[in-house]
Amino acid sequence: MKRLSPVLAIIALILAVLTLSNCTTTPKETPSEAPVEVTTQEEAAAEAEAVPEAPVEQERVSELEGSTWIVETIRGNAVVAAEEPPTIEFLANGRLAGNASCNRILGTYEEGTAPGELVLNLAGTTMKMCPDEVMKQEQDILGLLPEINAYELDGDALHLKSGGEVVVVARRA
């Protein structure tokens, strides 16, 4: 059996001492000796009525949140029929999802402080291949979404705008 060199033995001993010196124990906590108060339902209700409610700040809820839209036209041209129609879904917490004609899209949206302001940010898409005309339409949609800076609701129609021009028209799903 081989023996450790004296230098290695000393280093191992120093490391062991340093490791053990960093170990500490925490004293066990004991439960409080304070008596437990029992409150009846009537007393709790009376206390709740006596405490004024703090004003609750209402979070601004988007008028688009929770809505799904089927794209009908892109720059005035009717959408090409695809396996799945292009859709835009405005989800909770500013999340964006949908279908760009062939592939699923994910991203975020944010409404501005002025009515009708809108920013769409694409985070990614799936990578399926589809027929050429569908892929061209998808590229058009993917190129337009980041350019959109405004929207307008007109009944069941959503008009997405870029520079004041309506570039996408969609109907509520």
pLDDT per residue as tens digits for the range 153-171: 999 999 999 999 999 999 9
120 CB-contact burial (10 Å; exposed 0-12 / middle 13-18 / buried 19+): buried
Q: What are the distances in angstroms from CA 10 to CA 3, 19, 20, 92? A: 13, 14, 15, 62
**Using only C-alpha atoms, what is the Rg of the chain?**
31
Closest listed residue to residue 146, CA positions, set 117, 122, 170: 122
Per-residue pLDDT, averaged over 54-72, amounts to: 75
Is residue 102 a contact partner of residue 82, using CB atoms and an 8 Å limit?
yes
Over 60: is that where the pLDDT of 59 sits?
A: no
Instruction: State the pTM of this model.
Output: 0.65
pLDDT top residue among 99 and 2? 99
pLDDT per residue as tens digits for the range 97-154: 999 999 999 999 999 999 999 999 999 999 999 999 999 999 999 999 999 999 999 9
Per-residue pLDDT, averaged over 59-78, amounts to: 89
Least reliable range by pLDDT among 54-58, 80-84, 156-160: 54-58
